Structure 1
């Protein structure tokens, strides 16, 4: 959930990924066939305008790092009860192989709205969402923020944890137990270290320990226990933060021994940051290079579960990838190509208005083997060079314009897994940034090559 300035909510990549063992994490029992990831989230632009939607959004990824928003980054379903909106959606594969989605009952940023309920959907395949309902968790005059769930094998029940103000007067992590997400047991305090905590996220059954990550004083902090009993967790390790950070999520790679710890910055930023570790027991994390991951545009406080390759393909077939792309800078990976005042440049994400950074890549206007960049929010305009600078102009149908607006995509000059774009009519020059402004220049130095390298994603 996008944060109250002093609190916080749900784990970003609620991505409790599973490994092909008899291991249970936050997303449920592991499935050996799982090979990709699905993410649920809501969207929020910095000005709470275009790009803000408090419905359920879905994205997929083969590696859990680079994401493809589905349904053009539009919601798949929206709550029809309570606040008529959601925050902090969480996705879990249940013991029977189907999915459940949980979410905070809150639309927008009215932090005074206190709901004793959370939103719940069932889904067999993430192609349809059924059985919408709200689940009541408590009778207290307080909120039920950032719900997550995990399977407690000892109880043979699911534990639903969430943030709420208990009689202690500060936020604690509460728990209710359920078998069906229709009715739940009476609430209990799951974790109360004596200070304000919020946004609990679990990794269960890792080498004899269960891990709880949470937000403490704008920092992501861990606790652990050899049991899943309420009150049994003890803080350990070193916290991490990138400014004010909330919504921790612990993620296990499906292909290696790497763990990721994700966090989300406060409103209005909504930027995901990630750290990595090869040993949860160490309690230490190293910041992950932003080149290695890309969040869905405007995404906030997400939840992720692992899926099979067939489910991954089926979701893409059902909902489709976006008709637009974003271009990330190689040597400034927090920045994306955008237009501002009809000039091309790279600016830090999040970008306002966000559609300034969305591009439709079409066959080159002068050569269909090349590519031209058509603006999404100014669809009569294309990125073209003029006196070597890049700007957004209306297509005047002349051969000169077509040539100026056509580029040839090549392997990235700084990294062959990325892309570079060579000018059609000045073939010794490539699109690059200089003092964040876009232009076409000859490329010769290491810095030039990095300036001219971009990742085409979403």
Structure 2
């Protein structure tokens, strides 16, 4: 990210309040919070994020959105371009947070910061209202404090005992280290005086909460002591009432915790984001939030949006999911993820096809338009997004990116038939059109078309088609 100390690495935000399918009685008793966790009508999820890539080619500090039906595999909206960008303050955002308000609409909060100018100390945050995340209104920048420091990674929840929303964010108060502060508000415009919400005695950032889970409130944060994500809990929502209790989870240095409750099971997911623009998301799972222990989720099972950073996840209805896709559109391109090397994606480099570890720039090297097969429309051909005159084709059994010369031979070499994954039928494999005993597979990370005979071959020839 920058040379900034890791203890102050840039935060995320997300107080996702989640109990799946909250009952009418629970809602009436205000046991769910800020965004009422999950309502009976919720069946999908929306993610908000900003983007950064290693060399900046995919960097954008506006609000990006993606949708999912399982909270694990995501479809970026608007071609992974922003849907709204701040017009004041730093002119950009980090760490967006989406919450459903008690009136049924949404509020979006975000850090007032563009890029990595850590010396830009904004005492304000960005705020929008939105009825449906298809349009954004009433943009404002509430002033949270008068300290000569920042207001990072704002999130919010409904505090029923106060009859107000709480805005929690990372800042440095008189203690001299980074803590979580809180302001209370009814409208996200006028706010109360700031208070310290959580201070364990050392630097922390990125608070994310699950409120009212079997009478307990959970707060996950990035700990400077462990370099990972740690949980605290309290039976109240009062400032100063939370006590750390969980084991730390991390994949390298990890920040930006996001708690997500499955809408279909008793599973909780904890997402984390590694430092720097080269970072990626990792996920852990548990069926017992009170235990404070987490199991890593196999990377085969999830795919986050390309270049996404510091996400927020909230439940939405089927109608909202459908309407968001209709308003913003799904990507016109796909990415292909390796089955047995799920951190790697198919990309071209020097016009040769291979699988490389994400992230990389140009990230567009891994984006493909899957078009009807050039030799047989029942098959598929892979057209490069950033070299649209070129397609993946095999030549001497090596897969490479060549210009379509219009010949029948090229059309056949560039046509493949998508079949059920040879190692996993829920994935995909691609059989050569003109060499039907051969499939696209990787070998020493380079792509080839080869006969498939062993279990290793089948795994090498299996891919996920996603975004």
TM-score bracket relative to the smaller structure: over 0.9
Cα RMSD (Å) of the superposition?
Answer: 1.4
- Give 1:352 shift: 1.2
Equivalent residue of 1:28, what SS? coil
Note the 1:362-373 alignment, pairs <5 A: 362-373=371-382
In 1: Cα distance, 2:247 partner to 2:436 partner: 51
Task: Note the C-alpha offset of 1:9.
Answer: 3.9
Give 1:34's aligned residue: 42
TM-score by length of 1: 0.98
1:338-377 mapped onto 2 (5 Å cutoff)? 338-377=347-386
Aligned residue number for residue 80 of structure 2: 73
Decide whether the 8 Å contact of 2:20 with 2:37 is kept in 1: no
Is residue 2:24 matched to residue 1:24? Answer: no
Secondary structure of 2:232 counterpart: strand
* TM superposition shift of 1:4: 4.3
Instruction: From 213, 217, 222, give the equivalent of 1:215.
Output: 222
Partner residue in 2 for 1:142: 149
Distance 1:116 1:289, change over 3 A: same
1: distance between equivalents of 2:337 and 2:2? Answer: 24
Q: Say if 1:351 and 1:357, in contact at 8 Å, map to a contact too.
A: no
Match of 2:238 among 206, 226, 229: 229
Q: Is the 8 A contact 2:98 2:106 kept in 1?
A: yes
CA distance in 1, matches of 2:14, 2:453: 39
How many residue pairs were aligned?
457
SS of residue paired to 1:450: helix
Structure 2 equivalent of residue 193 of structure 1? 200
426, 434, 449: which is aligned to 1:417?
426
Aligned equivalent of 2:9: 8
Matched-pair contact (CA < 8 Å) for 1:68–1:296: yes
User: Given the superposition, is the C-alpha separation of residues 419 and 401 from structure 1 closer, same or farther in structure 2, using an over 3 Å criterion?
Assistant: same
1:207 positional shift? 1.0
Matched, 1:313 2:322: yes
1:443 alignment partner, one of 439, 452, 457:
452
3-state secondary structure, aligned to 2:248: strand
Q: Would the aligned equivalents of 1:10 and 1:302 in 2 still touch at CA under 8 Å?
A: no
Structure 1 moving runs of 4+ over 6 Å: none
Partner of 2:396: 387
TM-superposition CA deviations, 1:279-317 (whole Å, max 9, x none):
010010000000111010000001111100011001111
TM-score, length basis structure 2: 0.96
SS at match of 2:464: strand
Distance 1:281 1:429 in 2: 51
Query: 1:15 Cα deviation (Å)?
Result: 4.8
Alpha-carbon distance in structure 2 between the residues aligned to 1:13 and 1:182: 19
Shift of 1:13: 6.9
Cα shift at 1:268: 2.4
Secondary structure at 2:142 match in 1: strand
1:270 deviates by 2.2
**In 2, are the aligned partners of 1:26 and 1:203 still within 8 Å (CA)?**
no
Output the CA distance in 1 between the equivalents of 2:214 and 2:2: 33
The aligned residue for residue 46 of structure 1 is: 54
Q: Deviations over 1:33-86 (max 9, x none)?
A: 0000011111111112x2111011111001111000001011111100000000
Contact 2:38 2:263 (C-alpha < 8 Å) held by counterparts? no
Q: Deviations over 1:399-427 (max 9, x none)?
A: 11000000000011111111000000000
Q: Would you say 1:292 and 2:293 are equivalent positions?
A: no
Match of 1:108 in 2: 115
Aligned to 1:279: 288
Structure 1 residue corresponding to 2:97, chosen from 90, 100, 112: 90
